[in-house]
Amino acid sequence: MRRVALITGDSRGLGAAIARELGSTHRILVGGTNEATVESMVAELDDAAPFVADLRDDEAVARAAAGVERVDVLVHNAGVEAAKPIADTTRDDWRAIFEINVFAVAQLTALLLPKLRESNGHVLTINSGMGFRSGARGGLYAGSKFALRAFTDALREDERGRVRVTSIHPGRVDTDMQRAMMARDGREYQQELYIRPESVAATVRLAVDTTPEASIDELQIRPVTTT
Expressed as residue numbers, the domain containing 131 is: 3-221
β-partners of residue 170 are 221
Asked, for residue 91, whether it belongs to a domain, the answer is yes
- What's the average model confidence in pLDDT over 217-221? 96
> pTM for the whole thing?
0.94
Asked, for residue 227, whether it belongs to a domain, the answer is no
d(CA 159, CA 209): 19
The domain total for the chain is 1
β-partners of residue 48 are 28
- Tell me the percentage of the chain whose pLDDT exceeds 70: 91
pLDDT at 180 over 70: no
Cα dist from 39 to 68, 122, 170, whole Å: 17, 25, 27
Residue 4 CA to chain centroid, in angstroms?
16
Asked, for residue 226, whether it belongs to a domain, the answer is no
Task: Find all residues with CB under 8 Å of 131, minimum gap 6, and list them.
Answer: 142, 145, 146, 148, 149, 167, 169
- Predicted confidence (pLDDT) per residue in 117-164, tens digit: 999 999 999 999 999 999 999 999 999 999 999 999 999 999 999 999
Q: What is the DSSP string of the chain?
A: --EEEEESS-SSHHHHHHHHHHTTTEEEEEEES-HHHHHHHHHHSSSEEEEE--TT-HHHHHHHHHT----SEEEE---------GGG--HHHHHHHHIIIIIHHHHHHHHHHHHHHHTT-EEEEE--GGGT---TT-HHHHHHHHHHHHHHHHHHHHHTTTSEEEEEEE-SBSSHHHHHHHHHTT----GGGSB-HHHHHHHHHHHHHS-TT----EEEE--SS--
Asked, for residue 203, whether it belongs to a domain, the answer is yes
Asked, for residue 43, whether it belongs to a domain, the answer is yes
- What's the average model confidence in pLDDT over 182-201? 77
Give the domain CATH number at 87.
3.40.50.720
Asked, for residue 41, whether it belongs to a domain, the answer is yes
